[in-house]
Amino acid sequence: MGEELRCSARGNPVPEMTLGPSNVVKETASGPGWRSVVVKPEWIGRTLTLQCSSRNTVDEQEFNSQKSVTFNVTGKPLIIII
């Protein structure tokens, strides 16, 4: 029902992705190496911080990466067809 926020990572094997915090991001879409959430109408007027994390294991060694983004949700969400 709104703009899609997507996080992604590349790797071999394909990384495991998480998008949170879980109290805000309850429903996500996902595929190999990516996860996304659609901006909800109830987020309008709020400042949100989302965190994207990836995890991968190669030769029994674990690799982790994370990035956070803070943004203000203003106006009505747009519908984007991808």
Contact 68, 49 (CB under 8 A): yes
Q: pLDDT higher for 30 or 76?
A: 30
If one counts the domains in the chain, the total is 1
State pLDDT tens for residues 12-67: 899 999 888 877 777 788 889 999 888 888 888 889 898 999 999 999 999 999 99
pLDDT band at 79 (very low <50, low <70, confident <90, very high): low
Encoded tokens for 66: 């994370």
Whole-model pTM: value is 0.72
- Let me know if residue 52 belongs to a domain: yes
Task: Count Cβ atoms below 10 Å from residue 36 Cβ, excluding itself.
Answer: 18
**pLDDT score of 6 more than 70:** yes
pLDDT at 1: 45
- For residue 64, the enclosing domain spans 4-72
- Let me know if residue 25 belongs to a domain: yes
